[in-house]
Structure formats: structure tokens, C-alpha cells
Amino acid sequence: MKAHIEHQVIEKDGVPLFVLVPYDEYFRPKLVSEDEGKVYLPHEVVVSHTIDGKSLPRAWREHKGLSQEDVAKRMKISQESYCQMEKPRARLRQTTRQRIAAALEIEEAQLRI
């Protein structure tokens, strides 16, 4: 069993600048604890979503190296239908998020941040 390693916060003049996390935790894109409600996303997905303004489904799809056609086939829908789900302002139902998450092989919670 691995020992729990606390995150290290690096500050300058009392202002947090960086947080160091264990290497394997950085790459673990899974729901860590349902009790605590913590959801982890790869840095690439976070940047794509927050900085580039892409929807989470699109950010995840690109992170996984999949095309819209690939995801649509996994969901058994048309590429055009999936394209609509990827729009930044799309209001997805929980069941739709669950289907997209299954197609992307991630947790549904990772699509509702």
C-alpha cells in the first residue's frame, strides 16, 4: 500500500504559486473519492477547457486522440449529432454525459466540472 503524500504548495511573499503533486496522481484522470467529491482532470484537459474555451467533451476527446467520428461510432449516433454535443454552450443531460463518458472511457463526473 502506498503512503499518502501531501501536496506541496510553493509560495512567494505569502502568495501560492505552484502545487506539487505526486507524479502518478498528476496523470490519474479518475474520480478519486466519491465521498469527498474530488474529480481529477489531466492538465491538458484543464488548459483546453479553461484557456482555449473548448467544451469538456471536446477537450477530453482531443486529449484521448479521438475524432468526432470515433466517439460518435462508440455512442452509435451520427457524427453530426455528436458535434452538437461538443459545442461549448451545449446543455447536456446527465444521461447524455454518461454516454459520452462511457465512449471516452472516463467518469461522468469528469464532464460536469
What ranges do the domains of the chain cover?
31-111
* Triad 15, 59, 106: Cα angle to 5°: 100
The rounded Cα 85 to chain-centroid distance in angstroms is 15
Where is pLDDT greater, at 62 or 11? 62
Is 90 exceeded by the pLDDT of residue 9?
no
Q: Model confidence over 31-48: pLDDT tens digits?
A: 444 545 678 889 999 999
What's the whole-model pTM score?
A: 0.68
Is 70 exceeded by the pLDDT of residue 25?
no
**Residue 26: closest CA among 40, 11, 8:** 40
Q: Domain 31-111 is in which class?
A: mainly alpha
Where is pLDDT greater, at 89 or 58? 58
- Mean pLDDT to the nearest integer, 94-105: 95
pLDDT for 73 equals 97
